[in-house]
Amino acid sequence: MSLKLPQGQKLLTNVSVVRMKKGKEKYEIATYPNTIIAWRTGAEKDVREVLQIDRVFRSVEQGEYAKSKDLVKSFGTEDQAAVCLEILNSGEMQLSEKERGSQQETLLKEICTMVAERCINSQSKRPVTVGVVERALAELHFNVDRNKNAKKQALEAIKLLESKYPIERLPMHLKITFPLAVSTEVREKVANIGATVDREDSSGGVYVIVCKISPDKFRDIDAVVRSYQADGALLELLQIASEHQGDAAIDSLAGLSLNSDSSATHSTSQHSPSQPAAQPGAPADSSIKAATAPGMVFASRQELAAHMKSDWHKHNLTLKSSGKPLMTKEQFVDFKIMAEDGVSMDSIGGGGKGGGKGGGGKKGKNKKEVALWD
């Protein structure tokens, strides 16, 4: 007579397994879920709250313990508690869904922070915030890899953003000192690398260049300096920050239109000088507009900031991401009134329960859509 096992039974649902391979042998220990990371970061100090049993297994699923002679051969001891601690600290974790999600969220925040620190808007030359970088990466379906370090993924994210949004790497400000005798030769090499020279000085018996370069050209500049290092060449990093410290950071995707949608605006802004920040007491700029406020001109940056926090701005962002036309201020007010009165799109289109043949009944066949965005 064959043994009948219960159907639909899920085994080891409250066990998280940590594995370690020593030579050809594999060892496992059974731990409580969501406790391994807390133990390794030092948040949990009591090992009894982490280990379900202080025994080493060959297979936790089959309940097979490891033999003492195998432990001595692999770990040099048969002490079960000591081997459990070694596997717990260095073994391969079986993460639960909650732990995996927490790790990915933390890693994504770190990547977005690195991107925001290293990038500016190429049109306005202002910094971008962590929030807008995170939303932009979500729109581009950027996937976080827990097996790669954050810096490498941040550089990949920057390349992805540069291909779709007006974002560029923050330039590095360098001060380079060379012997005066090689000034002509050095000036040509620096220009060939693509550096933007802000200032040159040869009054102190040495040739000094203050310039800006793209971060990916830093190795080339460093190689030039090293070639003259025996003659006293020196490289100093002055600044890695946005020049427009007085301007507010871009905290909305409205300030980062896709390149394909705003190529004309992008090219215009590249060839026009950047506008300085408004001085206290200066007259308000009467040409301030927002992508989410069609037909609206703001009298000041304060009004623009208030609009960015409004429900109208948020609703138009939703419409824009869905590919629908944006609402004007009057259309949005009418939309809110209809929503507060409980008037749905279905009832307006004739799709109510008593809609009859034309209304389509409950499912609303041949339903007419209301042109709220016309």
Q: Per-residue confidence at 371, pLDDT binned at 50, 70, 90?
A: very low
Q: Per-residue confidence at 8, pLDDT binned at 50, 70, 90?
A: low
Q: Per-residue confidence at 308, pLDDT binned at 50, 70, 90?
A: confident
Query: Which residues touch 13 (CB under 8 Å, ≥6 apart)?
Result: none
Question: Which of 8-17, 36-45, 239-248 has the weakest average pLDDT?
Answer: 239-248
Q: Per-residue confidence at 351, pLDDT binned at 50, 70, 90?
A: very low
SS3 per residue for 128-172: ECHHHHHHHHHHCCCCCCCCCCHHHHHHHHHHHHHHHCCEEECCE
Residue 325 above 70 pLDDT? yes
In this prediction, residue 11 carries a pLDDT of 57
Q: Is 77 helix (H, G, I), strand (E, B) or coil?
A: coil
Distances (CA, A) of 172 to 151, 157, 236, 293: 18, 19, 10, 36
Question: What is the average pLDDT across 164-173?
Answer: 85
Helix axes 311-321, 329-340, angle to 10 degrees: 100
In this prediction, residue 347 carries a pLDDT of 43
Question: Which of 59-68, 103-112, 322-331, 359-368 has the weakest average pLDDT?
Answer: 359-368
Residue % of the chain over a pLDDT of 90: 12
Residue 54 above 60 pLDDT? yes
Q: Per-residue confidence at 35, pLDDT binned at 50, 70, 90?
A: confident
In the chain, DSSP assigns E strands to: 16-22, 25-31, 57-59, 64-65, 92-93, 119-121, 167-169, 172-179, 196-201, 206-213, 234-239
Residue 29 above 60 pLDDT? yes
Residue 143 above 50 pLDDT? yes
User: Cα–Cα distance between 251 and 128 in angstroms, integer?
Assistant: 6
In this prediction, residue 270 carries a pLDDT of 38
Q: Per-residue confidence at 82, pLDDT binned at 50, 70, 90?
A: very high
Question: What is the average pLDDT across 305-334?
Answer: 84
In this prediction, residue 86 carries a pLDDT of 92
In this prediction, residue 173 carries a pLDDT of 84
Share the mean pLDDT of the chain: 76
User: Cα–Cα distance between 197 and 186 in angstroms, integer?
Assistant: 12
Question: What is the average pLDDT across 201-227?
Answer: 86
Residue 121 above 90 pLDDT? no
pTM for the structure as a whole: 0.47
Q: Per-residue confidence at 253, pLDDT binned at 50, 70, 90?
A: low
Q: Give the residue with greater pLDDT, 343 vs 161.
A: 161
In this prediction, residue 349 carries a pLDDT of 40
In this prediction, residue 57 carries a pLDDT of 93
> Helix (H) and strand (E) counts for the chain?
14, 11
Residue 27 above 90 pLDDT? yes
Burial bucket for residue 337 (CB in 10 Å: 0-12, 13-18, 19+):
exposed
Q: Per-residue confidence at 204, pLDDT binned at 50, 70, 90?
A: confident
Question: Which of 86-90, 91-95, 267-271, 317-321 has the weakest average pLDDT?
Answer: 267-271
Residue 43 above 60 pLDDT? yes
* Dihedral angle sign, alpha carbons of residues 66, 69, 75, 78: positive
Residue 315 above 70 pLDDT? yes
Q: Is 210 helix (H, G, I), strand (E, B) or coil?
A: strand
**Which residue is it, tokens 């692999």?**
74
Distances (CA, A) of 145 to 74, 80, 149: 32, 34, 8
Q: Per-residue confidence at 56, pLDDT binned at 50, 70, 90?
A: very high
User: Cα–Cα distance between 171 and 6 in angstroms, integer?
Assistant: 65
Question: Which of 1-15, 144-158, 244-258 has the weakest average pLDDT?
Answer: 244-258
Degrees to nearest 5, angle at CA 276 with 274 and 282 = 145
CA-closest candidate to residue 122, choices 1, 261, 255, 211: 255
Question: Which of 116-130, 167-181, 349-363 has the weakest average pLDDT?
Answer: 349-363
